[in-house]
Chains A and B, each alone.
Chain A
């Protein structure tokens, strides 16, 4: 039988396999978790890491889902995912690693504002349709948001879109694809989140973990 995730004394934590993964594993190691298997075994999905704590590794975009439903008590996920999904989870701490920026970019040598004046609507390709829609709505700009699952920077090259909204850490991918950043929409770092019921029924364990994660991330 699968043990209830909210069993007292146990804590189930969702971590993202993705850009944040290695930084997350390092951090968990620094707070004293036994992460050897988590680091080495890419196929396994759940890991016992000592002191009654279980790690489940998932796709980054799925971490808030597990936590919102209570299938995990807590989780680590990028702020970009939280901003995009708006899930009902508690955001308890900024762990400060995995910094990147969500930017609006268009091809170099073209004037997006001039094109917009003529056409009235511009097309924006993105993995973050909600963030993009919110941003352009606030600007009062009419855009057609085109949702893609990956390789967003391809869209302007094949005339699928006039611009993109995407995550960038160094700006290297943008440069390689001849894209110029036009605006920074948001900044994202790793966050520690908790389920709202676990936050109360397992208050001590969750606060303790949050404190240790923050301490280790500031070292």
Chain B
């Protein structure tokens, strides 16, 4: 966990606002859920990773959990609070979640995410919409170097079905592949009593990644309708993402599972060349809502705002809009009316007491990121900033600041 000061907090809010605008542009409505969830309710998600979370007791002895992600609370909300409304539901959130972890760059026990869920739609068009919104949100934040790597967990699951891998062997395969431990995976697979062909096919599939040509390569490995359907769905999704204008952003990785067990269809991760870890991800989870009592398909994703911020700094910083602003000496006492008058015109005014030295006023303006200092001088005003010093009448000050923010 960490404290966030200016200007970091302002930059994170800028990113949040940029993304909020994109989500709203696709008709997603924002939801807020409680920071604490009842453990007994959250456990319905059946997500083993949630075992590692912060817990406390309420006054009746119920175990409460600091929410470890936002997808499960929103699935709960959709299955209960929205039960009487017809799907699809388009919901988004900007919220902190909590998971105990050893902190390092881009990974903290409290993390802040922007995300959305499209609930009640099982189409590839829904998958494509989620991917396209992710791209558009990153574009809106000004991120240049990013790719989204996409897989389909049902492709691999169908392969295991057709090879007859079940029970403990299947779990061992999934756990090795989720960690991308190829040595362990090789050992697990050589211990399975399956055909040599199937063994090779499993090893081939997990290293299949690259551009859209991978979908063609993968056709040779298809054994059974489930795998073929998964590839077709990926191809259709890719086509639709292309119609949104983002085909060039998508990579394919057929061994991608992600660490959450609730994914059932496409899964994806947002990668930036400047970062050693994904800055976001998501996927389709058609089984999760049913666990909260109201079955339905859903797809969603989340982007870590802290990670996105790091990626943008690696690319040279954020392109923040310049807002006109000034520190006004006397704004707290002798010049209150001028301060209010400037604010009415949309200018940010940092009020400073009239007896503060000019040098101190300049320092305060610089610390607050304001371009101008306004100092009363014999009935007129000295305006410092914008590349010079001018003495102006009272009614000229606002116009000058606005003309060159």
Answer yes or no: do A and B interact: yes
- Given A68-B276, A196-B277, output 12 extra A-B contacts at Cβ < 8 Å: A6-B273, A8-B273, A69-B104, A88-B277, A91-B184, A92-B183, A93-B183, A94-B183, A196-B180, A198-B276, A201-B271, A203-B209
Residues facing A in B241-288 (CB within 8 A) are 251, 253, 269, 271-278
Residues facing A in B189-239 (CB within 8 A) are 207, 209-210
Using Cβ atoms and an 8 Å threshold, which residues of chain A touch B360?
A: none
Using Cβ atoms and an 8 Å threshold, which residues of chain B touch A70?
A: 275-277
Looking at chain B's contact residues, the main secondary structure is: mixed
Using Cβ atoms and an 8 Å threshold, which residues of chain A touch B209?
A: 200, 203
- A91 touching B182 in the complex, CB below 8 Å, given contacts A70-B276, A197-B276: yes
- A200 touching B271 in the complex, CB below 8 Å, given contacts A90-B180, A92-B182: yes
B105 interfacial contact with A, CB 8 Å: yes
Q: How many residue pairs at the A-B interface have CB separations less than 8 Å?
A: 67
How far is the CB of A69 from the nearest CB of chain B, in Å?
5
Residues facing B in A158-211 (CB within 8 A) are 191, 195-201, 203-204, 207
- A positions within 8 Å CB-CB of B: 4-8, 68-71, 88, 90-94, 191, 195-201, 203-204, 207
How far is the CB of A45 from the nearest CB of chain B, in Å?
19
B149 interfacial contact with A, CB 8 Å: yes
Tell me the complex Cα distance, A88–B180, Å: 10
Our pick among A90, A197, A201 for the contact of B181 (Cβ within 8 Å) is A90
Number of chain B interface residues as a range: 20 to 34
Looking at chain A's contact residues, the main secondary structure is: mixed
Contact with A along B85-104 (1 / 0, CB 8 A): 00000000000000000001
Contact present for A191 and B277 (CB under 8 Å): no
CB closest residue in chain A, given B314: A4
Contact present for A199 and B183 (CB under 8 Å): no
Our pick among A90, A94, A200 for the contact of B149 (Cβ within 8 Å) is A200
How far is the CB of A122 from the nearest CB of chain B, in Å?
28
How far is the CB of B65 from the nearest CB of chain A, in Å?
23
Tell me the complex Cα distance, A6–B272, Å: 9
Q: Can you sample 8 A-B contacts with CB below 8 Å?
A: A5-B276, A6-B274, A6-B276, A70-B276, A71-B276, A94-B186, A200-B209, A203-B210
B147 interfacial contact with A, CB 8 Å: yes
- A197 touching B271 in the complex, CB below 8 Å, given contacts A68-B276, A93-B183, A94-B183: yes
How far is the CB of B277 from the nearest CB of chain A, in Å?
6
Using Cβ atoms and an 8 Å threshold, which residues of chain B touch A201?
A: 147, 251, 271, 273
Tell me the complex Cα distance, A200–B254, Å: 11
Using Cβ atoms and an 8 Å threshold, which residues of chain A touch B274?
A: 4, 6
Contact with A along B274-315 (1 / 0, CB 8 A): 111110000000000000000000000000000000000010
Tell me the complex Cα distance, A207–B207, Å: 8
Using Cβ atoms and an 8 Å threshold, which residues of chain A touch B105?
A: 69
Using Cβ atoms and an 8 Å threshold, which residues of chain A touch B180?
A: 90-92, 196, 199
CB closest residue in chain A, given B104: A69
Contact present for B276 and A90 (CB under 8 Å): no
